[in-house]
Amino acid sequence: MAGRALFVGLMLLASVTPGAHAATLELPPAGASSCGGCHAPPGVDTAVPTLHGKTAAEIVAQMQSFRSGAQPSTVMDRIAKGFTDPEIEAIAAWYARQK
């Protein structure tokens, strides 16, 4: 019995070996996981617009206009001010790759 449990455990370990899912699993860049706390994936009913389906250029442009105040907002102006241009570009590129 113990031997079987050990065998199953080893099989589970083998299935999560780093690199096994390298093609499908891409970790978000720094800061990107914070966006998902408010911006839900498509199909989830929330008042906050989804970021999925936007191009990287659209996200970068909106973040820059939130930061400058050109686009009025309740929270995004303050959030956008917390990120540098390279960080915003990395986050936007990552979101644009999520389907």
Assess contact for 59 and 51: CB atoms under 8 A. yes
Q: Is residue 84 a contact point for ligand HEC (CB under 6 A)?
A: no
Residues 13-32 that bind ligand HEC (CB under 6 A): 31
Q: Both tokens of residue 83? A: 């990120």
Instruction: State yes or no: residue 59 binds ligand HEC (CB under 6 A).
Output: yes
**Residue of 9, 42, 49, 69 that binds ligand HEC (CB under 6 A):** 49
Residue 52 and residue 98 in contact, taking contact as beta carbons nearer than 8 Å = yes
Our finding on whether 93 is near ligand HEC (CB under 6 A) is no
Residues in the chain: 99
Binder of ligand HEC out of 18, 19, 37, 43 (CB under 6 A): 37
- Determine how many CB atoms are found less than 10 A away from the CB of residue 52: 15
> Looking at beta carbons, which pairs linking 4-13 to residues 24 or more positions away fall under 8 Å?
none
The yes or no reply on residue 62 touching ligand HEC (CB under 6 A) is yes
Q: Contact between 74 and ligand HEC (CB under 6 A)?
A: yes
Report the residue from 64, 65, 73, 98 that binds ligand HEC according to the rule CB under 6 A.
73
What is the nearest approach in angstroms of ligand HEC to the Cβ of residue 24? 23
